[in-house]
Amino acid sequence: MPGQKNLENNIMRKALNLRALALLSLLAAPVSLFSKTVPNPDAKGPFEVGFTTFTALDPSRATAAFPQGRPIPVYVWYPVDPTAINAQTSRALYPLDPYFGGLPVINSLEFEAHGLDKAYQAPSPSVSKPFPLIVFSPGWGTGAYDHVFLGTRLASHGFVVAALFHYGSGIVPGEPFEHIAWALFHRPRDVSSAIDRVLARNSAPSDPLFGLVQPEKIVASGWSLGGYAALTLAGGDDSAGDVCADFRGWPTPPETLVPSLPDGRVKAIVTLDGSNQCLKFTELARIHMPALGLGEEWTKLATGMPGMETWQARQHAAMSGHPSYRIDVTGAEHQSFSNTCASNAIWAAHGLDPWATEARSYALAATCDARVIQPSEAFRLVTKYMIAFLTKTVIGSPGYQPILTPGYAITSEPLIEFFETEKRSPNAINEDWPDYFTYFLHQPGTADARGPKDLQLKPAVKPPGR
């Protein structure tokens, strides 16, 4: 199996470099050295997790189907004091169909049976509020329930996580599966509308979410096409439907060929295998805020998606915020950054076919069987590095800083390659060939290669590395 071979090669390469990197290992203190001051990021945090859901409306995008405004359903996970939970506290209830109510409501226990953290239905938030807000956009053809692993784990570490559904994804009966250009148009606007609604509730003294979040500490995050939304909210998109709009030969709706503006309330971004190919390199270069990008390791992309091996390095090379990290997860595939396998099993347990809608089958084309990296390990790595990054850049606490180094990954996480820069000098990106950029192949190591700055605008042919 090519993926297994790549995994074995990366682990062996890291082992051979450990002795030469003894100095780096001194800089990468193990978690046990600072676990007395910060919770273990590999495990559930000190808070219990509350859950609620609501639907925001955007009147500016009203339609005949929704004359009051475009509906934007939102799942919200938030920190709860352990003393507020007892044996009678009800588990969280996750609606699969927040638009029409045509699908079951799923109990947290069903996700817990797949190893995900527990959540409770609408207990009072922790008295330690307010907390930073993470607004999360899921992948195309998926819903907020595909990121229960993320919402529950981050909330237990002191973050409020608001995960969206995007109408037009075709995942529930009666919902259309719209042109991808419409998805690109709506997603950043949906996230901004969700932020509006969360902040409105946060300001209302009679609201259960009153005072829950810190408005000055908002992070945009997302998986796949949701990663595009986070990137767009950070730097903007000059024309939402121009790059990725070639969809099955369907004409691009001209209404989507308009700018999507950044949202100034967003202070940092985290992308999970994010669809940065839907933005031009020059648009990505406008991103100057802290950023973390987790994604598939490039040799896996080269095997499964020839021509897309530069996917994760590309956005890292373009952006200039500080800090900005690229994390390649060896053995991961696109679905490793969601809990879609658990969601599929739960659908099936309710007598539902998770492949019944065109959109969901299109999004979930990858199998859940025989994975190189198990979902539980992928979830641990994703949430661990998100917790470390968010704690440093948003909360401003240095407790997890040792994790955010190449040395720590080399000595402690054999499946992680951690990159702090693609630039050999401050002007390296601009000094390259006009249409290409350089990126590092592995960490540790100095070998590099070139990739096309715009993946969709010219053949994705990589010139020889220098």
Q: What is the pLDDT of residues 231-243, one digit of tens each?
A: 999 999 999 988 8
Characterise 112 by phi-psi region: left (phi > 0), alpha (psi -120 to 50), beta (else): alpha
Length of the chain: 466
- Per-residue pLDDT for 170 more than 80? yes
In this prediction, residue 361 carries a pLDDT of 60
Per-residue pLDDT averaged across 283-289, rounded? Answer: 96
CA dist list (Å): 170 to 142, 183, 365, 458, 464 = 9, 11, 15, 31, 42
Q: Is the N-terminal amide bond of 323 cis, ω within 30° of 0?
A: yes
76 and 52 Cβ atoms separated by less than 8 Å: yes
Q: Give the C-alpha separation, 125 to 48, whole Å.
A: 10
The more confidently predicted of residues 191 and 432 is: 191
Q: Are strands 105-107 and 93-95 parallel, antiparallel or unpaired?
A: antiparallel
**Domains along the sequence of the chain with CATH:** 45-373+413-421 (3.40.50.1820)
In this prediction, residue 457 carries a pLDDT of 40
Q: Supply 336's token pair.
A: 């490793």
In this prediction, residue 444 carries a pLDDT of 85
Q: Supply 97's token pair.
A: 């169909």
- Per-residue pLDDT for 36 more than 90? no
Q: Give the C-alpha separation, 263 to 191, whole Å.
A: 9
In this prediction, residue 16 carries a pLDDT of 45
Q: Give the C-alpha separation, 454 to 191, whole Å.
A: 25
Angle 78-342-388 from CA coordinates, rounded to 5°: 45
Q: Give the C-alpha separation, 300 to 313, whole Å.
A: 13
Share the mean pLDDT of the chain: 86
pLDDT digits (tens, 9 = 90+) for 142-158: 999 999 999 999 999 99
Q: Which element (helix H / strand E) includes 76?
A: strand 70-80
Residue 463: band (very low, low, confident or very high) from pLDDT cuts 50, 70, 90: very low
In this prediction, residue 303 carries a pLDDT of 81
pLDDT digits (tens, 9 = 90+) for 176-228: 888 899 999 999 999 999 999 999 999 999 999 999 999 999 999 999 999 99
Per-residue pLDDT averaged across 53-78, rounded? Answer: 96
What is the pTM for the complete model shown? Answer: 0.90
Helix (H) and strand (E) counts for the chain? 14, 14
Residue 281: band (very low, low, confident or very high) from pLDDT cuts 50, 70, 90: very high
Share of the chain above pLDDT 90, in %: 66
In this prediction, residue 410 carries a pLDDT of 95
Q: What is the DSSP letter of 19?
A: G
Which of 20-29, 265-274, 343-352, 426-435 shows the lowest mean pLDDT across its residues?
A: 20-29
Q: Which amino acid is at 175?
A: E
Q: Give the C-alpha separation, 42 to 380, whole Å.
A: 6
pLDDT digits (tens, 9 = 90+) for 391-415: 999 999 999 999 999 999 999 999 9
pLDDT digits (tens, 9 = 90+) for 328-386: 999 998 889 999 889 988 998 998 876 666 556 655 545 565 567 889 999 999 999 99
Q: Give the C-alpha separation, 355 to 142, whole Å.
A: 11
- Per-residue pLDDT for 459 more than 50? no
Which of 87-101, 288-302, 321-335, 427-441 shows the lowest mean pLDDT across its residues?
A: 427-441
In this prediction, residue 57 carries a pLDDT of 97
pLDDT digits (tens, 9 = 90+) for 116-127: 999 999 999 999
The more confidently predicted of residues 262 and 141 is: 262
Characterise 207 by phi-psi region: left (phi > 0), alpha (psi -120 to 50), beta (else): beta
Q: Give the C-alpha separation, 315 to 334, whole Å.
A: 17
Residue 301: band (very low, low, confident or very high) from pLDDT cuts 50, 70, 90: confident
